[in-house]
Structure 1
Amino acid sequence: MRLNFGDLGSYSPEPLAEDSPLPPEDRVVLGSLATLEGLYHEKGPKLRRFFGRRVDRQDTNDLVQESFARMASAIRRSSAIIDDPEAYLQQIATNILRDRANSALQRSLSLHVPIDETEVAAPDPIAALEARDTLNRLQSALLRLKPKTREVFLAHRVDGQSYRDIADRQGLSMKGVEWHMRKAIGHLDRVLRSR
């Protein structure tokens, strides 16, 4: 069966020839699709589901409208006879999705910068030397601390122990732990400032 959307008027099926392979009652008569509006009401929900599975829900209605607008435009441009309007509409919908994908790809490629055109920041050798020097000075300063003060400081700062745990393990009071921590921090601070 062929639909002529050239005039978008009412639809009347072509008469069947006597030698037609299917009797008239076996043919699908799309009487409700006689106009573009009828096609919209009949196939619009299916097209919404098609787009809904492939794009954000908020875009589905716009894409359905665009599909029918493209179909109407194609019909207006030429008085073509569309054999299968549903398949034609499906192809339009597929083309719209392909156009959107190509557009997204072009936007992505426009943001791409080749690696040869970018400056890659290499490690700063001066900063690395300064960091290594600072670490060496801190290690030397820690070794100059009294053993008990060094143990208290490392237990808190490196091992993450609380003052209470350190006091219990070292046999010190909380005030004693605080005193050793002040002593170690003051010494390390003086070493770092004397640079």
Structure 2
Amino acid sequence: MRLITDALKSLSPPRVAEGDPLPPDDRVAVGSVLALEDLYRTQGPGLRRYFARRAHGQDVDDLMQESFARLADAANAPDRAIGQPEAYLNRIATNLLRNRARSALQRSLAQHVPVDEESLAGPDLTAAIEARDILDRLQNALLRLKPKTRDIFLAHRVDGHSYNEIAKQTGLSIKGVEWHMTKAIAHLDRMLRSR
């Protein structure tokens, strides 16, 4: 905000005092009647609301500054006289928003990946059938184990019990639990390898 007011002070023409001589009427440019500072005071709040409705809140000050900086640049051009500075300022504001939208679209398009180049993630029927087949074979292999070995294996692998907890529950030693686990794993491994 301070940058805007400093720029306005440096760009606005000096005020005419009561005793100062005035230039002839044919040398007064139509747009110079309303100084840039006055334009900022009168049009600034409406322009701020305009940007606030159409842009991110954090960008409003930048857009305001850019709008008035462009207006000041255009007003300082020796070959250009701005007849309606309010309308010119509104056009600048509209063009700034359009340029930002166009840039955002270009960034979005640059990140776009065509559908033909990307494999779409979907259900893999072959993998689903293979997984179902493996589960069926595991279930059949578990049913072929002796009940005590199956219970120890399921208690450890499915329920998450430690060998020590299983040994206390079954009345076996830890070595006995390890023996049943080794037997169950070897049996399941044989069944899964044989297709």
Q: TM-score range by the shorter chain?
A: 0.5 to 0.7
Check conservation: 2:36, 2:72, Cα contact below 8 A: no
Q: Any idea what the Cα deviations from partners look like across 1:21-76, whole Å, max 9, x if unmatched? A: xxxxxxxxx99948xxxx7xxx8xxx8xx8993249xxx66x56633431223212
Q: Which residue of 1 aligns with 2:161?
A: 161
Q: Which residue of 1 aligns with 2:31?
A: none
Q: Which residue of 2 aligns with 1:143?
A: 143
Match status 1:12 vs 2:19:
no
Change (3 A) 1:13 1:141: farther
Alignment of 1:125-136 (within 5 A): 125-136=125-136
Q: Which residue of 2 aligns with 1:19?
A: none
Change (3 A) 1:65 1:33: closer
Change (3 A) 1:13 1:133: farther
Q: Any idea what the Cα deviations from partners look like across 1:107-139, whole Å, max 9, x if unmatched? A: 325545676996545433322222222111111
| CA deviation after TM superposition for structure 1 residue 185, in Å | 1.0
| Residue aligned with 1:181, SS | helix
Aligned Cα root-mean-square deviation (Å): 4.2
Question: What stretches of structure 2 of length at least 5 have no aligned partner?
Answer: 1-10, 19-33
Question: What stretches of structure 1 of length at least 5 have no aligned partner?
Answer: 1-6, 15-29
- Share of identical aligned residues, percent? 56
Question: Which structure shows the bigger proportion of residues in helix conformation?
Answer: 2
Change (3 A) 1:131 1:65: same
Change (3 A) 1:83 1:105: closer
Normalised by the size of structure 1, how large is the TM-score? 0.58
Match status 1:190 vs 2:194:
no
| CA deviation after TM superposition for structure 1 residue 99, in Å | 3.4
Change (3 A) 1:177 1:192: same
Change (3 A) 1:79 1:170: same
Normalised by the size of structure 2, how large is the TM-score? 0.58
Aligned length: 159
